[in-house]
Amino acid sequence: MSSDRETHFGYQRVREEEKATRVRGVFDSVAGRYDLMNDLMSLGMHRVWKRIATFIAGARPGDRVLDLAGGSGDLTRLLSRDVGPDGEVVILDINRSMLEVGRDRLIDAGAIDNVRFVQADAECLPFPDRSFNVITMAFGLRNVTRKERALAEMYRVLKPGGTAHVLEFSQVSSPALSKLYDLYSFRLLPKLGALIAKDEASYRYLAESIRMHPGQEALADMMREAGLERCRYLNLLGGVVALHSGMRL
């Protein structure tokens, strides 16, 4: 059903029902070069951040884990080792192209026996209440149209005692670093996108989407409003990235 409610797509204002389609187009465009671009954009640091996220998530053997916006499977590969043969990791993404990239990479890594793939929207998860011990979401929440719905869904499908962890770009704490980060994001990043992924516009959107995402305290408040408790965050690289965690009691 169409609505007149608007949201942001980068710095643009669009109708809510348009955003998911536009985001899907972005990731259809960049899927094949997504991992290479991540390495170039972060100088490989995204791999360290993801390892920190999975370490703090603390999935244990036998756990059932949901990796939201799992994309190319970086977190899923690490989590599949943590839960072992008696556990399960469900990698979910709204974008089929990204799931296909993730499937191929996980097969190559031999991390497939305890992994299940689901194409769905994070705002409407196709799982019963209290289904998962751990939920992770890396660099995906800012692309969700209604972030509060996605957070509420995380709470709904968590088991009591389960934890949710959101790794996302955030607000830089240092003014000097912020200026350097802006220069990189809006000058260099789109040029890298044009050169490597042949898509300058998509990477300009990704830079803009970071600036439109809630800051550390605002996102922690949103998690609390969704029902999660003991919410906290860890700044990485001066707040360029933050890892938010919360628990369902």
Average pLDDT in the chain: 90
Domain span at residue 84 reads: 6-173+205-247
Report pTM. Answer: 0.90
Domain count, the chain: 1
What pLDDT was estimated at residue 1?
44
Question: Which residue is listed with tokens 């709904």?
Answer: 156
In a domain, 47, yes or no: yes
Q: Which CATH number characterizes residue 34's domain?
A: 3.40.50.150
| pLDDT above 80: residue 162 | yes
What pLDDT was estimated at residue 6?
85
Residue 3 confidence class, pLDDT cut points 50, 70, 90? low
Is beta strand 132-138 parallel, antiparallel or unpaired with respect to 115-119? unpaired
User: What is d(CA 14, CA 184) in angstroms, rounded to the nearest whole number?
Assistant: 26
Q: What integer is the mean pLDDT of 111-137?
A: 97
Task: For residue 86, give the 3-state DSSP assignment.
Answer: coil
